[in-house]
Structure 1
Amino acid sequence: MMVQLEVGQKARIIDTAGIDQLVRRRLLDLGITEGSEICIKHKMPFGGPLMLESRGQCVAIRRKEALSIKVVAI
């Protein structure tokens, strides 16, 4: 899961089937799909969102959605 990654750690997305269709569509519009490489830039405290970088752009994603995205560390 994406939430288990440390700040600065890189990973590859392997499954996005568990997230809401609207969120999945928004990520797809940003170019964040299965197979995309991401890097965790910042974790907000108290269960807040995660900031991740993919293809040179930073995106914040709710922790609830991040729990549903399966990744493999690289």
Structure 2
Amino acid sequence: MAMLGEMKKGEKALIKSISGADRFVRRRLLDLGIAEGAEVCIKCVLPFGGPVMLESCGQCVGIRRREAFRIEVERV
């Protein structure tokens, strides 16, 4: 099991758990269709502790890096 924040640009993963993320982040991800079992691809990781940009279902989403380290994934 890995954390979303550990992944590098271009890697793909399946979301295993978003329960560790802040409730507002969880709600936002669920509203965008990103839930357990969804496949995501890391588009870029911005420098200096910036956000992680990920793509799922044809849309790009940016989340804070500290929140990305609370989301469990399984590399594909």
TM-score (norm 2): 0.94
CA distance in 1, matches of 2:37, 2:57: 12
CA distance in 2, matches of 1:24, 1:44: 21
User: What root-mean-square deviation, in Å, do the aligned CA atoms of Structure 1 and Structure 2 show?
Assistant: 0.6
TM superposition outliers: structure 1 runs of 4+ over 4 Å? none
SS in 2 for 1:68: coil
**Aligned: 1:4 with 2:35:** no
User: What's the offset of the Cα at 1:34?
Assistant: 0.6
Q: Residue 47 of structure 1 aligns with which residue? A: 49
Which residue, out of 33, 38, 41, partners 1:31? 33
User: What's the offset of the Cα at 1:3?
Assistant: 1.4
Structure 2: stretches of 5+ with no match in the other structure: none
Which residue, out of 59, 67, 70, partners 2:69? 67
SS in 2 for 1:33: coil
CA distance in 1, matches of 2:9, 2:41: 8
